[in-house]
């Protein structure tokens, strides 16, 4: 067995968070991966005779108000949700980290100017900001992903800047500077690895927020377009049938919860990795 | 001025930014050192002693180039003086292993390129020099004791064979038995390689043991400078006398 495999096995045993995170995330991923190749029904196929049926053998998660199979739609929708959330966090974390690290490290005028821009972006709720960007570039999931990504940049930039500011005056940074380490190498090789824990939790919180923001925007009709739907979209569609057919709202909801929970556990487990 | 000097500091005034400055007040800077003159000869140990806040570390940091805001002259015979910091718990990057930390000065060496083989060889040389077992190479700083960490710091400082080493209270954060070991290590390195050392300490007993010359500082000014034994025998300045008295030496 490889070295990494051994370590993973040991960590799985001592670290319940990691184990739980891997299992839950694995379940959701399995659902998504299977959904890539096979779904019980066509996610868009309607059946007027079986509208809003509850959980049954024919429809393990019931059907929606147009008689579409909820399991099939969940399999398809969780893929969209995962993709948008990951893309959003990836854009936000990447750009935010670079902006935060550079401004925090160098300080001075650059820092002042960048931070005022970030402050201005903070003044808008991120959903509103995303809406503005979408209204410029049009609707669709690519636009949604990019605009949410941009809306997520300020929070990452803030967090990373604060952490870099904290590390910048540590003795080990000065020690490295004496050895002739250049500024860029200092930021990316010496300082950033020390804030990966904070960054990891920021990414996980960001992931949760992205799932919610995507749901909110889809509700407003600017996210994924019908007939396909992300989990958030399904949830908002389902809310008027909450009492007549609870399975319709519960099933996508539970998948969102599992997705978020799995990643949260995974993050906690990774931060305790030994 | 002898040809033998590795460092000469002339009329050095060092400034810090005034962090408590009010919006309209004039004093943008605080002066931390006032007209400091000092020289270090090749292969000698100069001790800088004085109470906390007397400017010992400020002087050290100006010499190695961390404090850049100064007037006066700092002349050095060799480039790249190295420094060992006071707190071995914060002066090692916690996310890197010891081997990586020791290799880093070589990786960023602008004067020459080190092949992996040479780097490896140098790491083992230094490891022997600072008397650390090879097994520690794959540990993180958090897995080492204070004494071991300080040895790693000294090792990092020695990687590129500096001619001048500044040790800023290198033993203050360690317990007494470990202190003695680290001091012995520094003395051995000094004897073996003839490195000039500036040893900063507030412990006058340690200073007596290790140094050839002493510089006594107070409030950013030099109070007294002299050959160690001479100065301990007949201190001139009133402040030096009181320091020696407080240390229970006189």
Q: State the average pLDDT over residues B223-247.
A: 89
Q: Do A180 and B109 touch (CB under 8 A)?
A: yes
Per-residue confidence (pLDDT) for residue A78, from 0 to 100? 86
Picking from A56-60, B106-110, B170-174, which range would have the lowest pLDDT averaged per residue?
A: A56-60
Q: What are phi and psi of B11, to 5 degrees?
A: 45, 50
Q: Do A175 and B85 touch (CB under 8 A)?
A: yes
Per-residue confidence (pLDDT) for residue B23, from 0 to 100? 62
Contact present, B41 and B197 (Cβ < 8 Å): no
B91 neighbourhood in chain A, CB within 8 Å:
171-172, 174-175
Q: In a structure prediction context, what are the per-residue pLDDT tens digits for chain A, which is 274 residues long?
A: 577 788 777 777 788 888 898 899 899 899 889 888 887 777 777 777 777 777 777 777 777 777 788 888 888 888 888 888 899 999 999 999 999 999 999 988 889 999 999 998 888 777 787 888 888 887 777 888 888 898 899 999 999 999 999 998 888 998 998 888 999 999 999 999 999 888 888 888 888 888 878 877 877 777 666 667 778 778 878 888 888 888 888 888 888 888 888 888 887 787 777 6
* A172 → closest Cβ in B90, B108, B109: B90
Question: Is B1's pLDDT higher than 60?
Answer: no
Shortest CA gap A181–chain B (Å): 6
* B91 → closest Cβ in A175, A185, A193: A175
The confidence band for B166, taking pLDDT boundaries of 50, 70 and 90, is very high
Q: State the average pLDDT over residues B27-53.
A: 88
Residue A217: name the closest of A88, A52, A118, A79 by CA: A88
Local structure of residue A241 (DSSP, 8 states):
G
B62 neighbourhood in chain A, CB within 8 Å:
none
Shortest CA gap A142–chain B (Å): 37
Per-residue confidence (pLDDT) for residue A157, from 0 to 100? 94
Q: State the average pLDDT over residues B23-44.
A: 83
Contact present, A214 and A148 (Cβ < 8 Å): yes
Q: Do B160 and A179 touch (CB under 8 A)?
A: yes
Per-residue confidence (pLDDT) for residue B156, from 0 to 100? 93
Local structure of residue A220 (DSSP, 8 states):
T
Tokens of A246: 């609870």
| CA distance between the termini of chain A | 18
A172 neighbourhood in chain B, CB within 8 Å:
90-94
Per-residue confidence (pLDDT) for residue A267, from 0 to 100? 77
Per-residue confidence (pLDDT) for residue B167, from 0 to 100? 92
Tokens of B133: 């077992």
Task: State whether ipTM is beyond 0.85.
Answer: no
Question: Is B186's pLDDT higher than 80?
Answer: yes
Q: What is the mean pLDDT of chain B?
A: 88
The confidence band for B199, taking pLDDT boundaries of 50, 70 and 90, is very high
Q: Which domains does chain A have, with CATH numbers?
A: 16-35+65-271 (1.10.3720.10)
Shortest CA gap B237–chain A (Å): 34
Q: Which domains does chain B have, with CATH numbers?
A: 1-81+165-250 (3.40.50.300), 84-161 (no CATH)
Alpha-carbon gap, residue B248 to A170, rounded angstroms: 35
Read off the pLDDT of residues A111-162 as tens digits, 9 standing for 90 and up.
Answer: 999 999 999 888 877 778 788 888 888 777 788 888 889 889 999 999 999 9
Q: Which is more confident, B81 or A274?
A: B81
* A194 → closest Cβ in B95, B109, B160: B95
Alpha-carbon gap, residue B184 to A178, rounded angstroms: 24
Per-residue confidence (pLDDT) for residue A224, from 0 to 100? 67
Q: State the average pLDDT over residues B8-36.
A: 79
Question: Is B134's pLDDT higher than 90?
Answer: yes
Question: What order of strands is seen across the sheet that includes strand B70-76?
Answer: B29-41, B5-17, B70-76
**Cis before B60? omega within 30:** no
């Amino acid at each position: 067995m490889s070295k990494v495999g051994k370590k993973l096995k040991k960590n799985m045993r001592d670290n319940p968070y990691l184990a739980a995170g891997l299992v839950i995330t694995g379940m959701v991923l399995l659902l998504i991966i299977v959904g890539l190749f096979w779904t019980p029904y066509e996610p868009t196929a309607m059946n007027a005779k079986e509208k809003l049926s509850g959980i049954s053998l024919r429809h393990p998660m019931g059907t929606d108000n147009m008689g579409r199979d909820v399991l099939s739609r969940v399999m398809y929708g969780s893929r969209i949700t995962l993709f948008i959330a990951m893309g959003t966090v990836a854009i936000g974390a990447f750009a935010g980290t670079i902006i935060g690290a550079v401004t925090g490290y160098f300080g001075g005028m650059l820092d002042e100017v960048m931070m005022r821009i970030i402050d201005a972006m903070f003044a808008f709720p991120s959903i509103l900001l995303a809406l503005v960007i979408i209204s410029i570039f049009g609707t669709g999931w690519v636009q949604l992903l990019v605009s949410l990504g941009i809306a997520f940049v300020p929070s990452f930039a803030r967090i990373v800047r604060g952490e870099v500011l904290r590390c910048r005056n540590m003795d080990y940074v000065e020690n490295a500077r004496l050895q002739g380490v250049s500024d860029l190498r200092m930021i990316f090789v010496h300082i950033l690895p020390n804030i990966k824990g904070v960054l990891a939790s920021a990414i996980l919180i960001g992931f949760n927020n992205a799932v919610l923001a995507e749901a909110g925007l889809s509700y407003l009709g600017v996210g994924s377009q019908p007939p396909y739907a992300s989990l958030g979209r399904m949830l908002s569609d389902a809310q008027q049938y909450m009492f007549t057919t609870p399975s319709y709202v519960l099933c996508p909801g539970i998948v969102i919860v599992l997705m978020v929970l799995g990643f949260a556990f995974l993050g906690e487990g990774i931060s305790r990795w030994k | 001025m002898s040809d033998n000097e590795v460092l000469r500091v002339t009329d050095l005034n060092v400034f810090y930014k005034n962090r408590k400055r009010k919006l309209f007040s004039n004093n943008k800077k605080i002066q931390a050192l006032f007209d400091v003159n000092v020289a270090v000869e090749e292969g000698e140990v100069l001790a800088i002693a004085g109470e906390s806040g007397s400017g010992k570390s400020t002087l050290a940091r100006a010499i190695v180039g961390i404090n850049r805001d100064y007037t006066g002259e700092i002349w050095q015979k060799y480039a790249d003086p190295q420094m060992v910091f006071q707190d071995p718990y914060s002066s090692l990057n916690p996310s890197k292993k010891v081997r990586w930390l020791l290799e880093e000065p070589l990786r960023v060496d602008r004067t020459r390129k080190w092949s992996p083989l040479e780097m490896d060889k140098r790491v083992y040389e230094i490891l022997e020099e600072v008397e650390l077992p090879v097994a520690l190479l794959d540990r993180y700083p958090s897995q080492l004791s204070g004494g071991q960490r300080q040895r790693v710091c000294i090792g990092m400082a020695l990687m590129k064979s500096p001619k001048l080493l500044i040790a800023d209270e290198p033993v203050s954060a360690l317990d007494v038995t470990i202190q003695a070991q680290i001091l012995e290590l520094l003395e051995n390195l000094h004897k073996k390689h003839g490195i000039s050392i500036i040893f900063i300490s507030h412990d006058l007993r340690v200073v007596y043991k290790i140094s050839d010359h002493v510089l006594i500082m107070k409030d950013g000014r030099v109070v007294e400078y002299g050959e160690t034994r001479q100065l301990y025998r007949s201190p001139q300045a009133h402040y030096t006398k009181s320091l020696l008295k407080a240390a229970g030496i006189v």
